[in-house]
Amino acid sequence: MMNRSIDSGPAIRASDEVVDLRKVGRAFWRVRWAFVLSAVTGLALGAQKIVDHQPVYEASMTIMPISSQFASGQPAASGGVAGLASLGLAFGTRTASNFERLRVVIGSLDFAESLEKKYGLVEKFFGQQRDIETGKWKRPTSQRFFDDQKLRAKLGLGLWAEPGIHSLAALLKGGFVIKEVNQGMFFRISVTHSDRDMALWMITTVFKEADNRLRDMDHKESTDRRLYLDQQLRAANIVELRTALAQLLTLEERQAMLLAGDLAYSARIVDPPSVSSQPLAQEILNTLLPFLIGSLLLSMVCVLFGLFMFSDSED
């Protein structure tokens, strides 16, 4: 028998599987200017950010949310008390805890207005943006600001406006960082500011004011309910209705006693407020990191472009 050779197609040369490093090197050398330019640009932008960087200090404290029978600010409804819903009264336990409500209060416009009236925080936080001679707010004039405003206009985002209550509310809402500790049993509250004393003042005063405001809101609500219940009790003739109203009035009186005290209402401070003795070193890294990553990615794109565009020309 004759041995027949099987044609398996074109032979694979060993040289086809070998990368010619000389070609890669020459292709990379041709785009060296783009690599250097991207690296220099990233470093220059990062250096400018470092020059403009303002060190910040962090103030923090650890708190424990308070949970009790009257933590919601409303007594639990049961039995005949629940049947009074037909009277239009919102009796029953709230779905949100006092601590959850506190987090909403801190970022609210109403709370910002109360702090502005009491402490003048708009001037404290944004006073450096006011022209001393004219007394008017200074609008930024840098090209970067104008470019940002154009971009925000195209995206339908809010444009620059003079600092006011909305600016203060946004600062309070975004400035207070609340993180769970020990699976939600405790919470760590932190705030940063360029002034150590201001950072400590913010975390101490704002938390206390928000807690007191929440107490005052519930106290007013409880007072209104007690007045209403007392009126209904005086006018009621049905025994069962009078009994249910009396139960509710008793619960409201107990709640009023708790609200009249000076104890913590939404959360108890476990670790008192303190402020770092040195500026946060991590802030500098966070400032540089985006520019360094952007420079690296741009450099990689330039290298790949060079490999695809110039490596074939060497064949």
Residue 97, C-beta contacts closer than 8 angstroms, at least 6 positions apart? 65, 67, 71, 72, 266
Q: Which fold has domain 56-279?
A: Bacterial polysaccharide co-polymerase-like (3.30.1890)
Joined together, the tokens standing for residue 146 give 């104008």
Helix (H, G, I), strand (E, B) or coil at 146: helix
Does the pLDDT value for residue 188 go beyond 90? yes
In this structure, how many other beta carbons lie within 10 angstroms of the beta carbon of residue 5?
A: 5
Of 114, 39, 73, the residue nearest 222 (C-alpha): 73
Joined together, the tokens standing for residue 8 give 């398996």
Task: Give pLDDT, residue 211.
Answer: 94
CA angle, corner 63, sides to 54 and 120, nearest 5? 50
Predicted model pTM:
0.65
DSSP string, 236-275: ---HHHHHHHHHHHHHHHHHHHHHTS-S-SSEEEEEEEEE
Instruction: Give the up-direction half-sphere exposure of residue 146: CA atoms within 13 A in the CB hemisphere.
Output: 3
Of 121, 278, 291, 149, the residue nearest 206 (C-alpha): 121
Task: Give pLDDT, residue 72.
Answer: 45
Ranges 21-25, 144-148, 253-257, 262-266: which has the least confidence: 21-25
- Every domain of the chain and the residues it spans: 20-55+280-315, 56-279
CA distance 198 to 174: 16
**What DSSP designation does 68 have?**
-
What digits encode the pLDDT tens for the residues 271-291?
Answer: 999 998 887 765 555 656 666
What digits encode the pLDDT tens for the residues 33-66?
Answer: 666 776 676 666 666 655 555 678 999 999 999 8
What is the radius of gyration, based on Cα positions, of the chain? 33
Task: Give pLDDT, residue 117.
Answer: 94
pLDDT greater at residue 105 or residue 278: 105
